[in-house]
């Protein structure tokens, strides 16, 4: 929880700009803020200014994150800290602001901030800065702009192997694998990455994201033809591909081949095999493999138990899933938001869902926006508005700014119930924030095709 001193310092901005941020600052973050002010030296004035203080950078970053769906308020807060409180932004806080701006395609503002970053030694752009920019450009399908950004990196002393891999990773993450492969094997052959296992793994994961299973199989074989060494990560990706393409038994077969080759598996590979064997042979075999994994000295992580909990729930064994959820803290593993998601999906009573949601937040697990959207859609399908609004209000109390998916889930439920005036209010609020609303004929936001004129 934030200290009272920090809350007082931030109140002028909060009162003027962020209506619900007081609740956010008092309740939503577990990090403590140092109450001891630190002087900032003005370059033009050698005397320290005792009225200027530095706030906790973690809290600032998380406050920005709370407004990730309202870039104007986030930017107002960012600038207010700097101008009114003399807060010295670092590369980390700049990067968070860049990510929010990029999400809304405000790339001109992004570049303005990057130029500003260069002016201060504590906020110099780094590889993460441009990885964020690559990601945001490619997610907007601005592939040329992402490549042009990479070509500009000599200006920042960052045009190197790391940045190249970050660019390829962004292209593959957002399903521009064809462009990534072209960049790797035709345009930039002189870079010497044509037999890089890491590069091939990035491309391989890209084809997995695309869901082009035939291409995945061809690429796996192509690695052998080109003489690319396959590492444990390569095998893990291919097992995941086999699992997701509906052939988990082939993933189990590959796992047995790895054992015969005495390839030592890590926890990530085991998690994939546990999922595969659970799908092909049943969850009880997954639990046996978990025991074998421990005996071989590979310690399971939260992802391991999430996989088994998900399998149990999919097989209608929710009581056993809850039992495993209760055991995790005793094994030194704290459930995360994905653990709860696995169970939420299979609960069918609103009260059970709300009790589990309360347990999650009370244990310190911060819900993601996906959590709120999933629960709201679930209640909306059932026609239960009261629990839906309980989740919506909790979202606001936790300082989360609703995104377009959350608004659309709420508006859809209201329209379904015939509460058009209230639905229209949320639709207008959504548009005022710059979020994209779904066209709805009931609200008059969808063009109805007119009857063709006679003659």
What angle is formed at CA 354 by the lines to CA 351 and CA 356, rounded to 5 degrees?
110
Q: What is the pLDDT of residue 444?
A: 84
Nearest to 85 by CA among 198, 182, 8: 8
Which residue do the tokens 């069918």 mark?
348
Domain parsing of the chain, residue ranges: 135-212, 356-439
Q: What is the pLDDT of residue 190?
A: 56
Rounded-to-integer distance, Cα 375 and Cα 165, Å: 37
Q: What is the pLDDT of residue 66?
A: 87
Rounded-to-integer distance, Cα 311 and Cα 313, Å: 5
Q: What is the pLDDT confidence band of residue 373, given thresholds at 50, 70 and 90?
A: very high
Q: What is the pLDDT of residue 94?
A: 97
Rounded-to-integer distance, Cα 404 and Cα 263, Å: 45
Q: What is the pLDDT of residue 48?
A: 36
What would the pLDDT profile of 229-272 be if each residue is shown by its tens digit?
Answer: 999 999 999 999 999 999 999 999 999 999 998 999 999 999 99
Q: What is the pLDDT of residue 99?
A: 97
Q: What is the pLDDT of residue 194?
A: 61
* Helix locations, 152-266, DSSP H: 161-173, 177-182, 197-210, 213-225, 232-244, 248-260
Higher pLDDT, 81 or 444: 81
What would the pLDDT profile of 419-451 be if each residue is shown by its tens digit?
Answer: 999 999 999 999 888 888 888 988 887 654 444
Give the other-Cβ count within 10 Å of 395's Cβ: 20
Rounded-to-integer distance, Cα 401 and Cα 62, Å: 12
Q: What is the pLDDT of residue 184?
A: 85
Nearest to 365 by CA among 339, 393, 345, 337: 337
Q: What is the pLDDT of residue 437?
A: 82
Rounded-to-integer distance, Cα 182 and Cα 306, Å: 37
Q: What is the pLDDT of residue 401?
A: 87
pTM of this structure: 0.79
């Amino acid at each position: 929880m934030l200290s009272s001193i920090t809350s007082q310092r931030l109140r002028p901005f909060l009162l003027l700009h962020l209506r619900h941020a007081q609740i956010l600052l008092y309740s939503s973050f577990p990090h403590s803020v140092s109450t001891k002010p630190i002087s900032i030296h003005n370059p033009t004035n050698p005397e320290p200014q005792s009225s200027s203080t530095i706030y906790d950078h973690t809290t600032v970053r998380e406050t920005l994150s709370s407004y990730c769906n309202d870039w104007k308020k986030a930017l107002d807060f960012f600038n207010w800290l700097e101008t009114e409180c003399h807060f010295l932004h670092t590369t980390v806080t700049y990067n968070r602001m860049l990510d929010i701006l990029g999400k809304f395609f405000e790339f001109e503002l992004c570049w303005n901030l990057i130029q500003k970053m260069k002016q201060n030694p504590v906020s110099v752009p780094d590889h993460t800065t441009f990885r964020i920019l690559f990601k945001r450009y490619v997610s907007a399908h601005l592939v040329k702009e992402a490549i042009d950004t990479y070509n500009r990196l000599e200006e920042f002393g960052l045009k190197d192997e790391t940045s190249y891999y970050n660019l390829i990773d962004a292209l593959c993450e957002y399903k521009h694998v064809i462009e990534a492969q072209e960049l790797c094997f035709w345009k930039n052959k002189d870079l010497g990455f044509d037999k890089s296992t890491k590069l091939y793994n990035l491309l391989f994961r890209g084809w997995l994201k695309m869901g082009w299973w035939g291409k995945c199989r061809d690429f796996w074989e192509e690695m052998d033809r080109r003489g690319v060494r396959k590492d444990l990560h390569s095998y893990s990706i291919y097992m995941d591909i086999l699992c997701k393409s509906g052939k988990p038994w082939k993933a189990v077969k590959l796992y047995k081949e790895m054992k015969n080759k005495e390839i030592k598996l890590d926890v990530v590979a085991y998690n994939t095999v546990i999922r595969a064997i659970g799908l092909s042979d049943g969850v009880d075999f997954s639990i046996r493999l978990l025991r074998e994994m421990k005996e071989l000295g590979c310690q399971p992580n939260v992802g391991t138990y999430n996989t088994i909990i998900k399998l149990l729930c999919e097989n209608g064994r929710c009581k056993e899933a809850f039992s495993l959820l209760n055991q995790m803290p005793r094994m030194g593993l704290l459930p995360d938001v994905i653990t709860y998601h696995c169970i939420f999906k299979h609960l069918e009573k609103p009260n059970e869902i709300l009790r589990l949601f309360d347990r999650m937040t009370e244990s310190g697990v911060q819900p993601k926006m996906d959590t709120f959207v999933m629960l709201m859609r679930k209640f909306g399908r059932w026609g239960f508005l009261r629990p839906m609004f309980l989740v919506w209000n909790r979202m606001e109390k936790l300082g989360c700014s609703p995104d377009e998916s959350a608004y659309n889930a709420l508006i859809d439920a209201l329209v379904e119930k015939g509460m058009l005036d209230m639905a229209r209010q949320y639709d207008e609020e959504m548009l005022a924030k710059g979020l994209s609303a779904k066209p709805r004929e009931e609200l008059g936001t969808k063009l109805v095709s007119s009857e063709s004129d006679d003659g």
